[in-house]
């Protein structure tokens, strides 16, 4: 865990922590470290309590559809970001982008504020005038009929037309067998959603996109690692 000087917001190194004064020389950092240690201890207590009272029993515990869960480490990390006052594009974001790109075996990764923003950014990038083949107003983009509203709003935002394809009732994902029927001369992209942790039949969808020269935009808000 990192500790910060609450006066100058400097991240303290291991050797800084053993000294009395922060390298900024303004203050005694001992109380600052103690405040932060107390917060870590209290946060751990809260999460221990939750873990004790909310035991997961395999095959019995119902996993809620839409309640986020956090570990105490995440709660402490977010507190530390606040203590450091670095709430925007800081070290943690850069580190996460690198780890995410490595894990996904891709060259680049850009962290955004939400799944909805990721869709908006991906689609906006594909309207760029430097692209030979880009998405223009009036072009069609194939999306599943069952998804979250912000799978579709970003399509409308760039002036494109969402074409909704029905879902497979087993997986609740887009029915890949119906995609080709929805492709017209105006289709520019397929935007499947891997819904609720169930991966789509992406190999099949990839082949369809390649055959028809379409962009393939994965929407994976609840899918990563599944």
Ligand X SMILES: Cc1ncc(COP(=O)(O)O)c(C=O)c1O
Listed ranges 40-48, 91-99, 100-108, 110-118: which one lies at the site for ligand X (CB under 6 A): 110-118
Listed ranges 20-28, 70-78, 114-122, 157-165: which one lies at the site for ligand X (CB under 6 A): 114-122
| Number of shown-chain residues binding ligand X (CB under 6 A) | 11
For residues 170 and 144, the answer to whether their CB atoms sit within 8 Å is: no
CA–CA gap between residue 139 and residue 135 (Å, rounded)? 6
Is position 120 an interface residue for ligand X (rule: CB under 6 A)? Answer: no
Rounded to 5 degrees, φ, ψ at 163 are -115, 110
- Which member of 29, 193, 209, 217 binds ligand X (CB under 6 A)? 193
Would you give the distance in Å from CA 203 to the centre of its chain? 22
Closer residue to ligand X, CB minimum distance, 32 or 218: 218
Is position 147 an interface residue for ligand X (rule: CB under 6 A)? Answer: yes
Closer residue to ligand X, CB minimum distance, 36 or 150: 150
Residues across the chain: 226
SS3 22: coil
For residues 81 and 87, the answer to whether their CB atoms sit within 8 Å is: yes
Is position 36 an interface residue for ligand X (rule: CB under 6 A)? Answer: no
Q: Residue 143 half-sphere exposure, CB side, CA atoms within 13 Å?
A: 24
Listed ranges 22-30, 80-88, 109-117, 172-180: which one lies at the site for ligand X (CB under 6 A): 109-117
The token pair that represents 46 in the structure block: 């809260």
Closer residue to ligand X, CB minimum distance, 68 or 137: 68
Q: Apex CA 195: angle with CA 181 and CA 133, to 5°? A: 50
Q: What does the radius of gyration of the chain's CA atoms come to, in whole angstroms?
A: 23
Listed ranges 113-121, 126-134, 159-167, 204-212: which one lies at the site for ligand X (CB under 6 A): 113-121
Is position 198 an interface residue for ligand X (rule: CB under 6 A)? Answer: no
List interacting residues with ligand X (CB under 6 A).
Answer: 114-116, 147-148, 150-151, 193, 195, 221-222
């Amino acid at each position: 865990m990192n500790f910060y000087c609450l006066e100058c917001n400097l991240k303290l190194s291991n050797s800084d922590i053993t000294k009395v004064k922060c390298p900024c020389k303004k203050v005694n950092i001992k109380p600052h470290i103690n405040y932060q240690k107390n917060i870590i201890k209290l946060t751990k207590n809260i999460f221990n309590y939750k873990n004790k009272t909310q035991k997961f029993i395999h095959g019995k515990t119902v996993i809620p559809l839409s309640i986020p869960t956090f570990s105490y480490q995440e709660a402490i990390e977010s507190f530390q970001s606040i203590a450091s006052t670095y709430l925007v594009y800081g070290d943690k974001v850069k580190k996460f982008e690198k780890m995410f790109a490595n894990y996904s075996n891709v060259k680049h990764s850009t962290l955004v504020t939400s799944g909805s923003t990721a869709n908006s950014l991906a689609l906006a990038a594909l309207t760029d005038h430097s692209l030979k083949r880009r998405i223009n107003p009036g072009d069609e983009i194939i999306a599943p009929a069952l998804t979250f509203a912000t799978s579709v709003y970003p399509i409308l935002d760039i002036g494109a037309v969402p074409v909704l394809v029905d879902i497979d009732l087993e997986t609740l994902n887009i029915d890949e067998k119906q995609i080709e029927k929805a492709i017209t001369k105006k289709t520019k992209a397929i935007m499947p959603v891997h819904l609720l942790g169930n991966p789509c039949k992406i190999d099949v969808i990839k082949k369809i996109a390649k055959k028809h020269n379409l962009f393939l935009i994965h929407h994976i808000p609840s899918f990563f690692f599944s």
